[in-house]
Amino acid sequence: MKILVTDQAGVDHELEGLEGWRVMEVIRDWGLNIKAECGGALSCATCHVYVDKDWLDVVGPPSDEEEDMLDSVGDVRPNSRLCCQILMSDALDGLKVTLAPSAAKD
């Protein structure tokens, strides 16, 4: 299964994802510009992405705890998600996301 990721510089990447991996882990594993400093503990909001509008319904809304974490970034949009909370599955084959500026490494 594949995900399509647009990085902060506007460059598109097609990444091979594995069932059960978090989208954050896929993006990090491919070496894109994602800080993901807490490693998936839902404690930092540095894996912030914008989900493509065609995929919003499939991905679903963030949990309350994820909404709380999103308070710690300054570039939230209605389609913001923390991609450590999105698990790869067949239903998400072809998922399109854009890395938020606040997800960038230093």
Specify whether the CB–CB gap between 33 and 8 falls below 8 A.
yes
- Shortest reach from residue 67's CB to other proteins, in Å: 7
List the end-to-end C-alpha distance of the chain, in Å, as a whole number: 30
- Shortest reach from residue 71's CB to other proteins, in Å: 5
The alpha-carbon radius of gyration of the chain (Å, integer) is: 12
Smaller CB separation from other proteins, 46 or 95: 46
Smaller CB separation from other proteins, 1 or 104: 104
- Shortest reach from residue 106's CB to other proteins, in Å: 6
The residues binding other proteins (CB under 8 A) are 35, 37-39, 41, 43-44, 46, 67-68, 70-76, 100-102, 105-106
SS3 content of the chain, % helix, strand, coil (to 5): 30, 25, 50
